[in-house]
Structure 1
Amino acid sequence: MLSLRGAFWHAALQRSARIENRHRSILTRNLDKLTQIGIALSAEKNHHRLLDTILTQSRELTNADAGSLYLVEETSEGKKNLRFVHTQNDSKRIPFKQFVMPAAKTSISGFVAVTGETLNIPDVYDLPPGVEYSVNKSFDQSVGYRSKSMLVVPMRDHLNEITGVLQLINAKPSSDILIPNPEEAEKHVIPFDHAVEHLVSSLASQAAVSLENSMLIESLERTFEGLVKASVHAIEQRDPITSGHSERVTELTCALAQAVSEIKEGRYADTAFTEEQMKELRYAGFLHDFGKIGVREHVLQKANKLYPMEMEVVKNRFAVIKRTLQAEYQEWMVEFALAGKRNEVEKLRGEMNAKVAEADRYLELIVRSDVPSMIPDGDFDGLMKLGEVTYKDFDGTEKPYLTAQELKALALRRGNLTEEERKEIESHVSHSYDFLVQIPWTKALRGVPEIAHGHHEKLNGKGYPRGLKEEEIILQAKIMCVCDIFDALTATDRPYKKAAPLDKAIQILKFEVKDNHLDPELVDIFVKKKVYRAVTQFKEAEYAEPAS
């Protein structure tokens, strides 16, 4: 008898040990899982992916068929709302749309947000009498779903303040089971195990801290991007001619980088830009011309070959020239008239009119040549001749019709900038770099200065400011170079040139490739992937290769 009792006692101890070991194993597995979830949450910096990770991991931990996330928001009046920010459902494809509702005890999620209590409800359609909250069945009815068991926990930050609500719906014996309709829900849905409540609460707290960090990072990034855009706006106020250029170049550059990442053949088949690299390109795009702050404003805004004040001086000078000519000839004509030499007077009048007309023609030539376009050979020869023509000032001093500096500017065969002015404009790249290297960039963004520094380099080494060769120019700078040139060609706000239509701009890009200035594959991707559609101007445009 004692032997039999001992055997039963021994068997009971063994069974108890097995149960304890099983519970310990489950607890260890859950704690390991919770640790892994915590690592995953802390590693994820993207706010939207973090929301998805929180819900996915919570549902995996509890075998929940569905789940929702709400974040607490405070109004300007100090009242609290709940924003529905994310949802998942294994059994139903449910359209998602954010909405805001008051954080009130009348709803299940609102009750948890206000009280901080965890609710573990076996059946939300059969709530205990006297509870303050209720369930709205209309949503289930509209999508043909049946919400039954529900585990709703508050999300608390490091200050123990409730920042959100995690709502898990319909626990299942196995994650493989689907419950697409109310009938299947009645068959398979089980209550949430009370043993997992503390695990889910712990996960929710980890999630709250991770979300807080994520939102802080996003807030800092928004602030920084706001400062960047404000800086660009300030620069564009100094150079309104190119207003919008930095934003368009940014959009084009990011679109071309994305297209490069999607290419599956050719030189860049294995190239894929990460999210951090795309952000780096974005900042480099916005700030690539920031160095214009170091260029004199009147040089930035120069529209013609002569500055407005210089042209005004020239016009006033020609008015003086004509008045001087007329005064000189009038004096001679009076002398001859008094001497009775009428024929000489008429001859002088003809000479005077001819010289005044010549001065008018010279001024017309100057005004015509002031426009930054290709000068016809005849006009160029006329300018050279004009450089040798002089007049006598009121005090009898011999002076040129045009100063050497004016002639140098007007005789420019291309563009509107003298060599000195061009070098000053080009110095903006070095100014940009000198400014950008002063910023303590994060590791993910430390390439911003180098990208901006290289966006005017050419493959043949004839770019500026460093004259880098092809292998020395980073890919991001090559991408930006293509986009910078395209926007400069097609910009509609440049008073010194007409905007090139799409087909002509692309042909010019291809000429740049032939001259070994631009990367041929990047230009090819730009055209074939219709990257130009990244800007509003060409949103619906279609480039067609010219017939050969």
Structure 2
Amino acid sequence: MTDTLISQNYQKEIASLKSRDKLLLEITSLLTSAKSLDSLLETIVSSLCNVTNSDAGSLYILEGKEKLKFAVALNKSKFIPFKSFTLKISKENIAGYVVLTGAPISFDDVYLIPADSPYKFNSEFDKKFNYKTKSMVTIPMKNRIGKVVGVVQLINKKRDSSILLNSVKDTEQNVISFSEADIEFITLLASQAAIAIERQSLYDGIERLLRGIVESSAKSIESRDKVTGGHSQRIAAYMVVLAKRITKCNEGIFKDKHFSSEEIKELFIAAMLHDIGKIGVREYLLNKQNKLTDNRMEVIRKRIEMQIMHEPSRKEEWEENMKFIEEINIPTYLDDARFKKLMELKEVKIKNYKNEDEPLLMDFEFENLSIRKGNLTEAERKQIEMHVAHSESILSTIPWTEDLSKVPLIAGTHHEKLNGKGYPKGLKGNEIPFGGKMLAVVDIFEALTALDRPYKRAMSIEKALEIIRVEAKNGALDSDIIEFFIHYKCYDVITDEMRKKFTLTAEEILALE
């Protein structure tokens, strides 16, 4: 009989150990799969509460050397709004005592802590929420080298996990003490949790560093190209919202199209850095507002003033010529009639200060003034268009992780067109990645509606949408993306105020819906 009882107890102990080993593996798996520090901390507390039948639990993280941050709280019997706060590390409070001593501490009843103990139980929580804390265990969370990085605190171990503690009577009848086996197991899990926290903190730190570098790079680009301030950030906002709304959509052509959080981050980075190749373009071209600079226009003006001195009787005619040159210097459309007049002026000779004949307009002045549309010569346009190839080349030198590996390709195809008339590679149709097609749409839309372009007036939303629809009809842009963008009003994420001045951080852009 005795042997049978011993055997049964042994088998129960073995079963318990196997169960805990299984739980340890399951919880370790949960810890390694957490996507953020906040979700990791919540997983730690909920897992420890579940495995020990605890009614409540909380977790503190070290902040510097003198403070503990109350980071997570869970209570299964009461809904209690969570509010984070910091606590001074001191032996006068239980959590601080555990940090300083590095040893776990357990109480059968916190209200029976001896009066001469260095620490005291703070009963304010119980009074405020009409809750009764009884048994408690507080465990240090130690990393690989034994350094305490936080504290986990479990409260009210229950006989049955399904019981709710709605009254003092419930607590007295159903709460039991934490066993030595509990403390040993929680300590083991706490050490795993500490390692996971350090790993996640490192990952989060790298994420913050990456976002900071991306933001800084975008601002550096715009410090050279002052006429497009906020352009990359606004495009990134459009990309994030477009991707998230496509993912949420369960109807239409994109019902099966989904973007993971990693893919959305990839689109965000590609959008923020799509113009990084502009660092290889001369600043003069990036900031060119008119066809000729103010200095060059002043040189032409001096020539005409010199000619008026030689021919005062033709003063009015020369002033009209100067006025005409000033008008066509502004990058509006140059029609045939005005082009013809410019050709006539090209043949005009004037007297210089040496009283020698010279052309009114030098060859490069004529070349710039004769631009039919915009303010760039063909050679200048090609130089600026090279920024896309530069962007892909620069971004390709970065050792991206696998989930961000398409950043260079997406950024490098934002000026490609479905009909093959884009640049720099002249790609067609599905040769262009979906992210590149998205980026092409929002890039053009943002440029049309931007308020900060000195060489053109901003278009209304309606007019800009009409134009990108025409671009789709002409085979340049993806019509499905455009119709989705319009139907789900993805453009509404950018307000008029944001068009004037964009102030959202990278983190805030990624949180947009």
- Say if 1:157 and 1:163, in contact at 8 Å, map to a contact too: yes
User: AA paired with 2:423?
Assistant: Y
Matching residue of 2:506:
none
User: How do residues 219-298 of structure 1 correspond to structure 2 at under 5 angstroms?
Assistant: 219-298=205-284
SS in 2 for 1:69: strand
Check whether the contact 1:155–1:166 (CA below 8 A) recurs between aligned residues. yes
Cα distance, 1:520–1:90 mapped onto 2, change above 3 Å: farther
2:73 matched residue in structure 1: 87
2:60 to 66, 70, 73: 70
Q: Per-residue deviation at 1:303?
A: 0.6
Equivalent residue, structure 1, for 2:162: 176
Residues 259 and 525 in structure 1, CA contact (< 8 A), matched pair in contact too: no
Q: Match of 1:100?
A: 86
Report if the CA contact (8 A) 1:386-1:402 is conserved. yes
1:430 lines up with 2:389 in the alignment: yes
| Residue 338 of structure 2 is aligned to residue 379 of structure 1 | yes
TM-score by length of 1: 0.86
Contact kept? 1:324, 1:394, Cα under 8 Å: no
| Residue-by-residue CA offset, 1:444-482 (whole Å, 9 max, x unaligned) | 211111111111111222111111112111111222222
Instruction: Give the alignment partner of residue 209 of structure 1, picking from 195, 201, 215.
Output: 195
Of 423, 436, 440, the residue aligned with 1:481 is: 440
Task: Name the counterpart of 1:519.
Answer: 478
How many Å separate the matches in 1 of 2:94 and 2:486?
A: 54
**Partner SS, residue 152 of structure 2:** strand
Q: Report the AA paired with residue 27 of structure 2.
A: I
2:80 and 2:476 mapped to 1: Cα distance?
52
TM (normalized to structure 2)?
A: 0.92
Q: Secondary structure at the match of 1:87?
A: strand
Question: How far has the Cα of 1:87 moved from its partner?
Answer: 1.6
Counterpart of 2:6?
A: 16
Structure 2: give runs of 5+ residues left out of the alignment: 500-513
Task: Indicate whether 1:310 and 2:296 are aligned.
Answer: yes
- Give CA deviations for 1:367-421 in whole Å, capped at 9, x if unaligned: 1111112235543343233233333445564433223332232232321111111
Pick closer, same or farther for the CA change 1:181–1:292 going to 2, 3 Å.
farther
Q: Tell whether the 8 Å contact from 1:459 to 1:468 is kept in structure 2 after alignment.
A: yes
Q: Distance in 2 between matches of 1:165 and 1:487?
A: 49
Alignment-derived partner of residue 468 in structure 1 = 427
Q: Is 226-235 or 213-222 further displaced after alignment?
A: 226-235
Contact preservation (8 Å) 1:292, 1:428: yes
- C-alpha deviation, 1:108, in angstroms: 1.9
Q: Is the 8 A contact 2:69 2:86 kept in 1?
A: yes
Map 1:148-167 to 2 at 5 A: 148-167=134-153
5+ residue gaps, structure 1: 1-10, 327-351, 541-548
The whole-number CA distance in structure 1 between the counterparts of 2:488 and 2:90 is 51
Q: What displacement does 1:69 show?
A: 1.0
Q: Larger C-alpha radius of gyration, 1 or 2?
A: 1
Q: Does the aligned pair in 2 maintain the 1:532–1:538 contact within 8 Å?
A: no
Name the CA shift for 1:503/1:147 in 2 (closer, same or farther; >3 Å).
farther
Cα distance in structure 1, aligned partners of 2:172 and 2:257: 51
Match of residue 416, structure 1, among 372, 375, 380 = 375
Match of residue 144, structure 1, among 130, 145, 154: 130
Equivalent pair of 2:335/2:372 in contact (CA under 8 Å): no
Compute the RMSD of aligned alpha carbons. Answer: 2.0
Residue of structure 1 equivalent to 2:509:
none
The aligned counterpart of 2:348 is: 389
1:71, 1:163 within 8 Å by CA — same for their partners in 2? Answer: yes
Say whether the 8 Å CA contact 2:266–2:406 is kept in structure 1: yes
Identity %: 40
- In 1, distance between residues paired with 2:286 and 2:100? 59
Query: Over residues 472-530 of structure 1, what are the superposed CA-to-partner deviations in whole Å (9 max), with x where a residue is unaligned?
Result: 11111222222212221122211111122222222222222222222222222322333
Instruction: Tell me if the contact between 1:324 and 1:393 (Cα under 8 Å) persists in the aligned partners.
Output: no
